[in-house]
Amino acid sequence: MNGISWLSSHPNLSLLAQLQSNYSYQNEQLIQQLWGLNFPNPIGLAAGFDKDGQGVDVWSYLGFGFAELGTVTYQAQEGNPRPRLFRLIPDRAILNRMGFNNHGSAALAARLHGRSPQSIPIGINLGKSKATPLAEAGADYLASFELLRDWGDYFVVNVSSPNTPELRSLQHIEFLEPILQALQCANPDGKPILVKIAPDLANHEIHAIVDLALRCRLAGIVATNTTTSRLGLKTMFVGDRPLSKESGGISGLPLKERSTEVIRLIYQQTQGQLPIIGVGGIANAAAAWEKITAGASLLQIYTGLVYEGPGLIKEILIGLQQYLQRHQCTSIQQAVGMAVS
């Protein structure tokens, strides 16, 4: 991330052109429009990788079709004590308990202020400050949104990270509804607002959130965040400590099946009327295709990028275009939900 941040702050046109040549892949079949935004391809950078927007000017050159900054909170915060990020190599997974470490909404707004328009949509993922009581969560999210409203192309309300105490309780409708309503009331320009949900919710809880999203006229749902489940993991120890004793959320391959199942549930419930950003365990074109045909319009990667490197984006895009040809689809939109009966 340090190299990306430096290049974003000190743009070298020759180096950027080389990155674009090496990592980008363009095909008109992969282009789509959502929420009035033009996505050159469906592969985006997931929140958590660029919390403070330090690489905002570089992500498009690595081939991403969009990038989501954050999670950012109204108050700057250091996050949880180190160590807080671990690779679970046998599982192709990551355990993280970062705790929304970031410089705060005002700092991100200052960084984005005055920048040239990006060639890809830029989303901003909003979290609750750890010091803010749950009863004041709505005001905390609102304060961040008002600072950043002009600088994000879309916004995601993160109520599903397992690494901020009690944050996941905000997924309960009685807490979530006033947060979403407050943001929509402060949204005169109609910026797309989505909510990011946990994979560990019961199916009936997911249905309730989807109903709320429709009532509040949200732009979509991000499915899903990391999981607290440890079932089926091959990794037994992190260093000399049992994995079962380590707190945090798991991302990567162990999340793949459940996140796809959640995408399918949402798509079935809404008959494809609520766009879904699918995330969780995407490390190749087959996994990306599976999520798209289950109902995701857009996808995000994080753990796959860590394990496979930036060449993964181009590899997935070429693979998706081949899948489209194989299934006689002329656009990525035609493939969305095609495996859902």
Nearest to 285 by CA among 312, 257, 325, 305: 312
Cβ atoms of 337 and 295 within 8 Å: the answer is: yes
Written as one string, the DSSP assignment of 47-110 is TTSSTT-TTTTTGGGGT-SEEEEEEE-SS-B--SPSP-EEEEGGGTEEEE-----B--HHHHHH
Find the catalytic residue in 8, 160, 161, 297. Answer: 161
The span from the CA of 216 to the CA of 221, in Å, is: 12
Active site (annotated) includes residue 161: yes
Within 10 A of 263 (CB to CB), how many other CB atoms are there? Answer: 29
Degrees to nearest 5, angle at CA 236 with 235 and 240: 115
Residue 106 CB: number of other CB atoms within 10 A?
A: 16
**Active site members:** 161
